[in-house]
Structure 1
Amino acid sequence: VDLSPIPGSITYKGQPHTRLKNAPVGSRIPHEFRNQFGERISETYVIEPDRSLRIIDRHRIDGPFDD
C-alpha cells in the first residue's frame, strides 16, 4: 500500500533536495509532526535504491504529550 504525502510529510512537496548518501538502502527513517488539525503524526520512511524516500507507515499518536 502506497501512502501519499500529507502536509508535514518530508516528501509533501517532492523528494528532499539533500539525499541521504551515507544511510544504507533499506534504512528506516522516523518522522513526527503535527498535522493541520494539531494531531501528532508519526511516519516511517524507507530509503529506496535510487536514494529517494518512500512512506511505509503513518499513524496518529494518541495519549498525553510532553510538548
Structure 2
Amino acid sequence: MKYALIGVLFALSACASAGDPQPLPGSLTYGGKVLHSPYRPGTVVKNTFLGDFGYRVFETYVVQPDGTLKLTSQSTGPDFLWQ
C-alpha cells in the first residue's frame, strides 16, 4: 500500500511538472504566431497535421477572451488505419 501511494504521488508530480504543450512545426501558433479567432471565447478549436516520422499530430486549442488561441492539448498517433 505504501509503495502504491508513492507511485501515485510520483505520477501526479510528473504530470504537474510537464507544463503546457509546446507548439511544433505545423501548429497554428508555432514560431510565436498569434492568431485571432472569430469564435467566441471558450470555443474549442481542433487542428491536425502530419508530424515527424509519419505520425499524425492532434492539437486542441481554446479561444481566449482576447480572441487568441491557447494550445491546451497535443497528442500523436499513426497516420494510417489497420484494416
TM-score (norm 1): 0.79
Aligned to 1:7, which of 9, 13, 25? 25
Q: Does the CA-based 8 Å contact 2:37-2:69 persist in structure 1?
A: no
4+ runs of 1 displaced by more than 4 Å? Answer: none
Q: Which residue of 1 aligns with 2:37?
A: 20
**Identity %, equivalent residues:** 31
Gaps (5+ residues) in structure 2? 1-18
* Kept in 1: contact 2:40–2:67 (CA 8 A): no
Q: Residue 34 of structure 1 contacts residue 40 of structure 1 at CA under 8 Å; is this kept in 2? A: yes
Shift of 1:36: 2.7
Q: CA separation in 1, counterparts of 2:24 and 2:52? A: 9
Alpha-carbon RMSD: 1.7
Q: What TM-score results when the alignment is normalised by the length of structure 2?
A: 0.65
Match of 1:42 in 2: 58
Which ranges of structure 1 fall in alignment gaps of 5 or more residues?
none
Deviations 1:26-48 (A, max 9, x none): 00001000113221010000001
Aligned pairs, number: 62
d(CA) in 1 for partners of 2:55 and 2:30?
Answer: 17
Instruction: Please identify which structure carries the higher helix content.
Output: 2
